[in-house]
Amino acid sequence: MEKKMAFAAGSGTAAQVSDDCLTDDLFERVGISEQESEKISRESVSYWKDAMRRFRQNKVAMASLVILLVIILMCIFEPIFGPIKYDTQDYDVTNQGPTLQHIFGCDDLGRDIFARIWVGGRVSLAIGCIGALVSLVVGVIYGGISGFCGGIVDDIMMRILEIIVSIPYMVVVIIFSLFLGKGMGSLLIALCVTSWTGLARIVRGQIIELKQSEYVLAARVLGTPSFKIILKHLIPNTMSIIIINTTFAIPSFIFSEAFLSFLGMGIQPPLTSWGAMAALGQQQMTYYPHELIFPALAISVTMLAFNLLGDGLRDAFDPKLRK
Amino acid sequence: MDANALIHVEHLKKYFDLHKRGTLMAVDDVSFDIRRGETFGLVGESGCGKTTCGRTVIGLYRKTDGKVVYDGRDIDSMTEEDRFHFKKKAQMIFQDPYASLNPRMTVEDIIAEGMDNFHMCQSTKERQERVYDLLHQVGLNKEHAARFPHEFSGGQRQRIGIARALAVEPEFIVCDEPISALDVSIQAQVVNLLVHLQREKGLTYLFIAHDLSMVKHISDRVGVMYMGHIVEQAPSNELYTNPLHPYTIALMSAIPVTDPDVERSKKVVPLEGEVSSPINCRPGCRFASRCKYATDRCRQETPVLKEIAEDHFVACFQKE
């Protein structure tokens, strides 16, 4: 109908298009039906799908994810299939710089740094992941109970948490390594004991906020029992924050491990980690800088990738937070 | 107590303990009846306790004192089974359509939540049919069932909220400012839907709002709240034509009139001062600090609702 009108107006001169040209039957009510107006043409997307779509669009985060996957796969498979074992000593090549055979060079005992990086990476990543997982489980349960129960339970649980926060974790690490001996076990326990508090606080705050939200009130009015409210309303709505925080927790664990190993309180030889390798390399820094550079690079790249991944996840899950 | 009352509220009190800062008296000695099939409007300014009153009546908040009687039975003395039944019969529609739907659940799961709790459906097929039927009743269609709340507009969300409340076949619905978060064109749509559903299903509403003309349109009787007290209660036409309490008079004079000539010549009764704090109130009329007729008696004694004309109650010493 519109086309016809345009044609009529376009073909005639101004004089010809008079009022009697535009008869009533040229006009037709286009009106849309009630049902039609309620239609949503966009394809239905769930929250997760939408977040994944936003995440895939984020090139930096996707690149970080690829880098992390490569690092993780190398850590798993290189020590199994690699040509040189990490603890093989070859005194002919001590402190040798990067060559074709030893692409990252060798350390002061003639061990291949390339092989050692991936073995050390296993320790660093394991500590990062296990630590983050433990702090996730403990933090979510502790914070969830505290926030959901509220009142006196919340008060007591938060005071206990504050006491734990107030103890410096160096002290905890030293105490544990005194009793359990230095090594991965005591390091992990010490880190886990002190690290869950941040997540517990965040989860508690989130649960308290959600507990008063109208959809939880609506669920109460509808007679939904508490465990169902927790499972169907509270947990799904805190999930994104939990995931984001866990992603940020992994690099901080890796760094803590590296830092403590650097100080000699972490991993003991012959086992190694990135921190321990950096500590060894630091002694040779002036003459053989490659012994420090490669472990340090491994730490930096991994931490950067985890942080950028966390940023990407945060933007994907919670676009409101983006500037 | 009205023989025909579905909900009878007597001396209802809801105080919030603020620890060292005292007690917040959100709802203080409120009594009213809601008859079967009618709409009781509750108006008042922000923070006067309307929402708290509604939530306490329905049992979301534990009341401090007083009695709520539903269909002749006191809620406190109900058996576990009756209380379960009451939960099914009394529902609520919330103020903010953006906050009252769980963003992680599909519309179907949102609407069916109550039906699942009361085991109203035997099979998933029946559940789905019921959801489609409810969506149709509120003017949406079945394609919407698989979608998520963020894909809907405010008015559509509010209608999903209404469908959720209707799903458990309630008799009594507390409408907690169901339209104040919507824009005007959608307000009419939602209010008309509520009126239509009331006629069809014989629902009883407690309609909480601060939009006076909307309350007049939908309510049979209206209670005016001020700082936790009901200061006047009357059939809606009576209240709007013949307000008696000084606070109601001021409120009514503030309603804009659509005729510009009338609007220009209209006399607005301005209120002096601010609402005083509802924390640790002393006896006395809550409105006394802003009332130009206030006497010493008003400041020392709390006026109670008295029937001045038929079904018209006022809590004011000046009108006795």
Q: At A33, is the pLDDT very low, low, confident or very high (cuts 50, 70, 90)? A: low
Answer yes or no: is pLDDT of A15 > 60: no
Please state, as a whole number, how many other Cβ atoms lie within 10 Å of the Cβ of residue B242: 14
pLDDT in tens, A69-91: 998 888 888 777 877 777 777 77
Mean pLDDT of A143-168: 88
Instruction: Out of B96, B113, B141, name the one closest to residue A214 (CB).
Output: B96
Q: B285 lies in a domain? A: yes
The boundaries of the domain holding residue B255 are 5-105+172-184+202-319
Contact A218 B168 (CB under 8 A): no
Please state, as a whole number, how many other Cβ atoms lie within 10 Å of the Cβ of residue B122: 8
Instruction: Out of A44, A218, A224, name the one closest to residue B100 (CB).
Output: A218
Answer yes or no: is pLDDT of A14 > 50: no
- ipTM for the predicted complex: 0.84
Q: B152 lies in a domain? A: no
Answer yes or no: is pLDDT of A293 > 50: yes
Q: According to the model, what pLDDT value does residue A319 have?
A: 64
Answer yes or no: is pLDDT of B275 > 50: yes
Q: B59 lies in a domain? A: yes
pLDDT in tens, B208-265: 988 888 888 889 999 999 888 888 999 988 888 888 888 888 888 888 887 888 878 8
Nearest CA in chain A to B153: A38
Q: According to the model, what pLDDT value does residue A37 have?
A: 65
Q: With contacts defined as CB-CB under 8 Å, which chain A residues touch B151?
A: 40, 42, 44-45
φ, ψ of residue B28 in degrees (nearest 5): -130, 105
> Whole-number mean pLDDT of chain A?
80
Q: According to the model, what pLDDT value does residue B2 have?
A: 66
Residue B271: name the closest of B52, B70, B45, B76 by CA. Answer: B45
* Residue among A36, A40, A213, A214 with most chain B CBs within 10 A, to mutate: A214
Residue B110: name the closest of B139, B85, B134 by CA. Answer: B134
Q: According to the model, what pLDDT value does residue B39 have?
A: 92
The alpha-helical segments, DSSP class H, found in chain A are: 2-11, 34-37, 47-57, 59-81, 113-149, 151-166, 169-180, 184-195, 197-211, 214-221, 226-229, 235-262, 274-283, 290-317
| Measured distance CA(A277)–CA(A257) in Å, rounded | 12
- Residues of B near A (Cβ–Cβ under 8 Å) read 55, 58, 60, 84, 87-88, 90-92, 94-96, 99-106, 113-114, 117-118, 139-141, 143-144, 146-148, 150-152, 156, 161, 164, 168
Q: According to the model, what pLDDT value does residue A11 have?
A: 46
Q: With contacts defined as CB-CB under 8 Å, which chain B residues touch A219?
A: 102, 113
| Contact between B12 and B53 (Cβ < 8 Å) | yes
Burial of residue A75 (CB within 10 Å: 0-12, 13-18, 19+) is buried
Q: With contacts defined as CB-CB under 8 Å, which chain B residues touch A225?
A: 117
Q: At B173, is the pLDDT very low, low, confident or very high (cuts 50, 70, 90)? A: very high
Nearest CA in chain A to B94: A214
Q: B111 lies in a domain? A: no
Q: B191 lies in a domain? A: no
Contact B148 A47 (CB under 8 A): yes
Q: With contacts defined as CB-CB under 8 Å, which chain B residues touch A45?
A: 148, 151
pTM: 0.77
Instruction: Out of B60, B104, B144, name the one closest to residue A217 (CB).
Output: B60
CA torsion B206→B209→B166→B136, rounded to 10°? 140
The domain that holds B265 is classified in CATH as: 3.40.50.300
Q: How many domains does chain B have?
A: 1
φ, ψ of residue A188 in degrees (nearest 5): -65, -45
Pairing of strands B65-70, B5-17: antiparallel
Pairing of strands B312-314, B23-35: unpaired
Contact B60 A225 (CB under 8 A): no
Helix (H, G, I), strand (E, B), or coil: what is residue B185? helix
Q: With contacts defined as CB-CB under 8 Å, which chain B residues touch A215?
A: 99-102
Contact B104 A215 (CB under 8 A): no
CA dihedral sign of residues A186, A187, A188, A194:
positive
The alpha-carbon gap from A177 to the nearest alpha carbon of chain B, in Å, equals 45
pLDDT in tens, A225-250: 888 888 888 888 888 888 888 888 88
Q: With contacts defined as CB-CB under 8 Å, which chain A residues touch B156?
A: 38
* Beta carbon pairs, A and B, within 8 Å: 83
Q: What structural domains and CATH numbers belong to chain A?
A: 65-321 (1.10.3720.10)
Instruction: Out of A46, A218, A225, name the one closest to residue B94 (CB).
Output: A218
Q: B262 lies in a domain? A: yes
Nearest CA in chain A to B143: A39
The alpha-carbon gap from A301 to the nearest alpha carbon of chain B, in Å, equals 35
Structure token digits, residue A127:
């500590």
- Residues of A near B (Cβ–Cβ under 8 Å) read 34-35, 38-40, 42, 44-47, 213-215, 217-225, 228, 232-233, 236-237
> Whole-number mean pLDDT of chain B?
85
Helix (H, G, I), strand (E, B), or coil: what is residue B69? strand
Instruction: Report percent pLDDT > 70 for chain A.
Output: 87
* Residue among A32, A46, A209, A221 with most chain B CBs within 10 A, to mutate: A221
Nearest CA in chain B to A213: B99
The alpha-helical segments, DSSP class H, found in B143-244 are: 154-166, 184-201, 212-218, 236-241
Q: State the helix-helix crossing angle for B154-166 and B107-117, rounded to 10 degrees.
A: 20
Answer yes or no: is pLDDT of A46 > 70: yes
Contact A214 B156 (CB under 8 A): no
Contact A218 B55 (CB under 8 A): no
A282's CB contacts (< 8 A; 6+ apart) are A262, A292
Instruction: Report percent pLDDT > 90 for chain A.
Output: 4
Q: B196 lies in a domain? A: no
